[in-house]
């Protein structure tokens, strides 16, 4: 993980995330969110998760931007530019304490990039070693999600199907 590429990408991710919130106009805010998804996909591709980066670039930068814009056009135009924000000290102090707790909990994390850290040791070398001879699939992520952990994908497909049903139950208009 080369820091020269990662640090500018991280700063771009944080800048676009801040920009998506602080801009007044909602349509501009949604398009900056699309740029945020794209920089996040670049960051993930650099760190080695290419399947996730591909999916995030298509789904996050493409599909969710389209859904956001469709919703904004379904709502009347005067709603989209008003600025509404309520600042409270209680919320700010609560989130600061949560942040300090997260930093304190980071002491237990393994060093970044360690091949002997607990996520990299128990079952994932087994999947990497046996994926080609058991399933003839060089792409280990595909064989993990479809063959070794196929139940997760089955339930996720059910969730997508349920989302389609829920959306059409809420918004189906009967044509004359």
Partner 1 sequence: MNWVLETVLRRPNFLAFILLFLFGLHIMVADKHLIRKLIGMYLVQTGLMLFFITQGVKTGSTVPILLTSELPVQPAAYANPIPAALMLTAIVVGVATLGVAFALVISIYRQYQTLEEDELVRKMQ
Partner 2 sequence: MIQSHDSLVVQTLGRLVIPVIQLYSVYVLFHSQFGPGGGFVGGVLFGASMVLTLLIFGAGHANGLIEQMAFRADGLGLLLFLGVGTLCIFFGELFFDYAALQLPGFDPASRRSFGIVVTQIGVAMDISVVTVLIFFCLSPELEGSWKNELGA
- Least distance in Å: CB of 150 to partner 2? 4
Which residue in the set 35, 37, 38, 61 belongs to the binding site for partner 1 (CB under 8 A)? Answer: 37
Which residue in the set 4, 77, 89, 138 belongs to the binding site for partner 1 (CB under 8 A)? Answer: 138
Residue 133 binding partner 2, by CB under 8 A: yes
The smaller minimum CB distance to partner 1, of residues 138 and 176, is found at 138
Residue 158 binding partner 2, by CB under 8 A: yes
Residue 125 binding partner 1, by CB under 8 A: yes
- Tell me how many residues contact partner 1 (CB under 8 A): 92
Q: What angle do CA 83, 88, 94 make, to 5 degrees?
A: 125
Which residue in the set 38, 166, 174, 175 belongs to the binding site for partner 1 (CB under 8 A)? Answer: 166
Q: Please, what's the b/e burial string for 84-104 (b: 16 or more CB within 10 A of its CB; e: otherwise)?
A: eeeeeeeeeeeeeeeeeeeee
Residue 167, CB-side half-sphere exposure with 13 Å CA sphere: 7
Instruction: Give Cα 34 distance to the centre of its chain.
Output: 12
x/- track of binding to partner 1 for residues 55-74 (CB under 8 A): xx--xx--xx--xx-xxx-x
Residue 6, CB-side half-sphere exposure with 13 Å CA sphere: 7
- Least distance in Å: CB of 47 to partner 2? 14
Tokens (6 digits) for 31: 């398009």
How many C-beta atoms surround the C-beta of residue 140 within 10 A?
18
Which residue in the set 5, 25, 93, 163 belongs to the binding site for partner 1 (CB under 8 A)? Answer: 163
Which residue in the set 5, 93, 120, 134 belongs to the binding site for partner 1 (CB under 8 A)? Answer: 120
- Least distance in Å: CB of 65 to partner 1? 11
How far is 1 from 42, CA to CA, in rounded Å?
13
């Amino acid at each position: 993980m080369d820091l020269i590429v990662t640090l500018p990408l991280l700063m771009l991710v944080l800048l676009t995330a801040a920009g998506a919130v602080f801009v007044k106009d909602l349509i501009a805010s949604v398009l900056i969110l699309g740029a945020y998804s794209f920089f996040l996909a670049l960051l993930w591709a650099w760190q080695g998760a290419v399947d996730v980066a591909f999916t995030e670039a298509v789904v996050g930068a493409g599909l969710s931007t389209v859904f956001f814009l469709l919703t904004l056009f379904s709502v009347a135009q005067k709603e989209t530019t008003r600025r509404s924000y309520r600042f409270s000290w209680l919320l700010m102090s609560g989130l600061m304490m949560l942040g300090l707790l997260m930093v304190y909990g980071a002491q237990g994390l393994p060093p970044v990039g360690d091949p002997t850290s607990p996520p990299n040791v128990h079952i994932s070398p087994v999947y990497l070693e046996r994926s080609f001879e058991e399933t003839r699939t060089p792409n280990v992520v595909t064989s993990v999600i479809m063959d070794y952990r196929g139940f997760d994908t089955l339930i996720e497909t059910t969730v997508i199907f349920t989302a389609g049903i829920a959306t059409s139950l809420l918004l189906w208009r009967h044509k004359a």
